[in-house]
Amino acid sequence: MSPLRMIFLGLAIWGAVHPMMYFLPWLLDNGADLSGLVAAWKVSAATTGLYWDLVIAAVALTVWIVAEVAVRRNWIALLAIPATFLIGVSCGLPLYLFLRSAPVR
């Protein structure tokens, strides 16, 4: 595995683990209340701006993944879409770059 692929994989793992250090305590305190989580994201103008920044980035990444998978037929790269929306862009983007940078067969 190339050093670049190892960096992408490391970033994907970090992007999955580090945000969970903040989400899991919130989930333990509040349960799986999706409306409460969205309300917490919109508690101030700064968090609302960050929320929309991440939503737009996630949608753009999804469009990019679908467009490239349609051309490259790298179906495994579609795993980055649920990673993006269930974990976050901090995991989905480096995961996609890791999967995309695999040697071509």
pLDDT for 33: 82
- Whole-prediction pTM value? 0.88
Spell out, as residue ranges, where the chain has pLDDT lower than 70. none
Sequence spans of domains, the chain: 3-100
pLDDT for 68: 95
What is the 3-class SS of the chain, one letter each residue?
CCHHHHHHHHHHHHHHHHHHHHHHHHHHHHCCCHHHHHHHHCCCHHHHHHHHHHHHHHHHHHHHHHHHHHHHCCHHHHHHHHHHHHCCHHHHHHHHHHHHCCCCC
pLDDT for 64: 97
pLDDT for 53: 95
pLDDT for 16: 96
